[in-house]
Amino acid sequence: MSRTAQISRQTSESSIELSLNLDGSGKSEISTTVPFFDHMLTALSKHSLIDLKIHATGDTHIDVHHTVEDTAIVFGLALKQALGDKSGISRYGDATVPLDDALARAVVDVSGRPFLVHSGEPAGFENTLIGGHFAGSLVRHVFEAITFNAGLTVHINLLTGRDGHHIAEAEFKAFARALRKAIAFDDRVQGVPSTKGKL
């Protein structure tokens, strides 16, 4: 069974072309015109083992917000499409990832019920500019867009952290590692891993 997806999305604010393979090796070709976001998506691909190709452009002369959020929306939609009926997957995954001063924990449930709990970032982090252009507030926006469009329940908790770059990267890597476990096949699972018979 091929767990792949390819999605295009065009709006007046952005243009996104995205393809992914859930059973890849973490190879990526990322170009969003937002350098720090490219860095985060490359890390997400590497640590989730999802092969990911993204070409995105948008009205970054106004703000990078639209391009970043719209790319995350498309990633979430593609993830949901590639997962299909979710038969045979582990469903749950968790990971705790350090990056120097930062330590982030993520828990993922491929539940079909969109819900995000995101906590622990220091006061003022949302106003931090990472790489001179990527606002700290966009980290939460990305996880919201992925969660709600993929139908995931996600808990991300920053346990400690001081440097904005490290905080964001630890959160992305923790999410990637937890997602990797959740979407992996479990040989002992028969059908959909839910007492309801549907996720």
Inter-residue contact 23 to 82 (CB < 8 Å)? no
Buried/exposed code over 106-141 (b: 16+ C-beta within 10 A; e: otherwise): bbbbbbbebebebebbeeebeebebeeebbbebbbb
Write out pLDDT tens, residues 141-166.
Answer: 999 999 999 999 999 999 999 999 99
Inter-residue contact 147 to 80 (CB < 8 Å)? no
pLDDT value, residue 198: 86
Judge whether residue 6 has pLDDT over 90: yes
Class of domain 4-183: alpha beta
By C-alpha distance, which of 170, 178, 16, 149 is closest to 78? 149
* Angle at CA of residue 160, ends 158 and 164, nearest 5°: 80
Tokens of 38: 């490219």
pLDDT value, residue 195: 87
Torsion 149-150-154-159 (CA) sign: negative
Write out pLDDT tens, residues 167-199.
Answer: 999 999 999 999 999 999 999 999 899 888 888
Residue 132 — very low, low, confident or very high, per pLDDT cuts 50/70/90? Answer: confident
> Would you list the domain boundaries of the chain?
4-183
By C-alpha distance, which of 115, 194, 105, 107 is closest to 157? 105
pLDDT value, residue 197: 83
In this structure, the strands spanning 28-31 and 51-58 are parallel
Tokens of 186: 């479990």
Judge whether residue 123 has pLDDT over 90: yes
pLDDT value, residue 148: 98
Residue 8 — very low, low, confident or very high, per pLDDT cuts 50/70/90? Answer: very high
Write out pLDDT tens, residues 39-76.
Answer: 999 999 999 999 999 999 999 999 999 999 999 999 99
**Cα→Cα distances 55→28, 183, 197, Å:** 11, 24, 36
Residue 1 — very low, low, confident or very high, per pLDDT cuts 50/70/90? Answer: confident
